[in-house]
Copies of this chain bind each other. A is one copy, B any other.
């Protein structure tokens, strides 16, 4: 069977359990040691494998950490909460929860920094982490357009550019808040951010901007869409 599904070449197959153990050990090491003090020898010991096994599967520290961190983003979902605002808040809160974990904080920025000088690494990050997030933006936007909350776009290229822009704004804001400003992207912050994103600077400020007093938008439409 294996000969058909994945052309299993003869020989001893790689241990899938070892893969999982290594990635879990990498995350544990990231939590305890952080990026700079993480060594492959330490990861190997934690995972119960030999150091040479690590080098047979990953080119180095960068690639290993990318794969270890990428698994954290598997849990990202796009819940249908009934309105664009509520959908944004939901997915942003999930994203913020992942970035609040120490293994993501210390690992993600480090590999992004490394990727500025390594095109292959940048591509690996894009495929296993970034694109998965961007897909949520695209689908959420389509959903909002189907609801009539956002106008449709005829030009496909323009639609892609817009999705890229929105993605950079959303992901960038959460990352900057969490890692640079080093303050939590909690529910109140997400509410205020969502209002700013939907209404813009002038209009959002005019509605009080507080979230507590401004859950409903100025056009009378329920901004959170709990009951329609």
Q: Please name all residues of chain B whose beta carbon is closer than 8 Å to the beta carbon of A180 when the two chains form the complex.
A: 112, 125, 130, 168, 171-172
- List A167-199 residues whose CB lies under 8 Å from chain B: 167-169, 171-177, 179-183, 189, 192-193, 196-199
Copy number in this complex? 2
Q: Is the CB of A197 within 8 A of B193?
A: no
Interface mask (A186-228 → B, CB under 8 Å = 1, otherwise 0): 0001001100111111111110011000000000000000000
Main secondary structure of the interface of A (DSSP, over half): helix
Q: Please name all residues of chain B whose beta carbon is closer than 8 Å to the beta carbon of A138 when the two chains form the complex.
A: none
Give the CA-CA distance A26 to B153 in the complex, in Å. Answer: 47
- Asked if A95 lies at the interface with its beta carbon under 8 angstroms from chain B, I say no
Q: Chain A residues in contact with chain B, CB under 8 A?
A: 34-36, 84, 102, 105-106, 108-110, 112-117, 122, 125, 130, 149-151, 153, 158, 161-162, 164-169, 171-177, 179-183, 189, 192-193, 196-206, 209-210
User: 18 new A-B pairs (CB below 8 Å) besides A149-B202, A171-B176?
Assistant: A105-B116, A109-B110, A112-B179, A113-B179, A151-B205, A158-B209, A165-B193, A166-B196, A168-B176, A169-B172, A169-B193, A172-B176, A172-B180, A173-B173, A176-B176, A197-B200, A197-B201, A198-B201
